[in-house]
Amino acid sequence: MTLTPTKMRQQMAKKKATKKNNTGINWINSWSASNKKNVIEINIRIGKLTLLQVETNKKFRFIIFNLGFEI
C-alpha cells in the first residue's frame, strides 16, 4: 500500500492528536504526613486597620489595633 502525501499528513495529524490527549493527570499527595504543617491564621481587618491577627507557623504573631508582638 502506497501512501499519498495527503494520507501521510492525515496519519501524522492523528499521531500528534493522540500524543496530546494522553497527557494524563499528575496527582499531588497532599495527605501524606510530610506535607502537613500546623498553621493557624485569624485576621480581622477594616481597611488598613488590623483589629485582630493571630498567626502560628513556627512563630507566634499576635496583633491588636496594629500593635502587637511576634515570638
Q: Is residue 50 one of the residues assigned to a domain? A: yes
Q: Does a structural domain hold residue 27?
A: no
Split into its structural domains, the chain has a count of 1
Tell me if 2 is assigned to some domain: no
How high is the pLDDT of residue 69? Answer: 75
Question: Is there a domain that residue 29 lies in?
Answer: no
Q: Read out DSSP for 15-40?
A: HHHHHHHT-------TTSGGG----E
Question: Phi and psi of 14, rounded to 5°?
Answer: -65, -40
In a domain, 70, yes or no: yes
- The C-alpha cell at 45 is 481587618
Per-residue model confidence as pLDDT tens for the chain (71 residues) = 577 888 778 888 777 665 555 556 666 666 666 666 778 888 999 988 889 989 888 788 888 888 887 77
Residue-range definition of the domain harbouring residue 70: 36-71
Q: Within a domain: residue 43? A: yes
Work out whether strand 49-56 and strand 67-70 pair parallel, antiparallel, or are unpaired: unpaired
Residue 9, in any domain of the structure = no
Residue 13 lies in a domain: no
